[in-house]
Amino acid sequence: MTIQWLGHASFRITHNGYSIVIDPYNSDYINGYPKLSVKADKVLVSHEHFGHNYREGVILSGRPESDCPFEIETIRVPHDFKIGNWRGFCLIHILKADGMKIVHMGDLGTQLSGGEISKLFGADVMMICAGSCTALPAQEAKRATDEVMPNVIIPMHYRDGNRGGHRLETVEEFKNYFESDALFHYYDTDTLEITHGMEPQVAVLKFQGVNESIMQKEENREKGKGILKKLLRR
């Protein structure tokens, strides 16, 4: 399984040759990011704000729902500390496949309830806003990771150089709330391969724009793995 950071809060998750884009951004409203145009088999949106709902930027393959290898669950949570009375609500997406649980937290704006924590607990990957401002403050976002205890944390929705809103904080400010800098792994790529038993870490991915040729190779590789697994089961 691979996770590619497309910028802001948007990711493309690929497993067995099937890809899902979560929270495609509209570059007209998100500073510094190029116009989004990516291919995928499915698109998911956490909430109807311009930084998260640009469905027009995703070219869908038209594959049937039955091809999707993921079990998808959502949790509706407030987008703000006023319990949704200010910015409304958003969805946390939980994707499960082959014993792995991937969680995209959307623009979570309040602390999680006990029931929500139990559904998210022990996630293999948690993608969470690290830039404060329109989501949880960085310190509270760190607290949410402590409660859920994901193996891999991928920060999103932060100011990255000239990219992202000027009111957003940087990932370094999020880092200040962790006891050890050694937990942070800075990658020279926008794509991370997720495997069982991988090293616990905060994975800071590097925005590189969208290179479809690279992603096509990645998707073909994932598809090949899926075919091999089917052959081995016979």
- Measure Cα distances from 71 to 66, 99, 102, 139, 184 in Å: 11, 11, 10, 31, 29
CATH label of the domain that carries residue 103:
3.60.15.10
User: Which of residues 79 and 194 earns the better pLDDT score?
Assistant: 194
User: Which of residues 222 and 71 earns the better pLDDT score?
Assistant: 71
pTM: 0.86
The 10s digit of each residue's pLDDT in 33-70 is: 999 999 999 999 998 877 889 999 999 999 999 999 99
171 phi and psi, to 5 degrees? Answer: -65, -25
Domain total for the chain? Answer: 1
The 10s digit of each residue's pLDDT in 129-188 is: 998 777 788 999 999 999 999 999 999 999 998 898 778 899 999 999 999 999 999 999
User: Which of residues 190 and 168 earns the better pLDDT score?
Assistant: 190
**130, amino acid identity:** A
Domain span at residue 125 reads 2-233
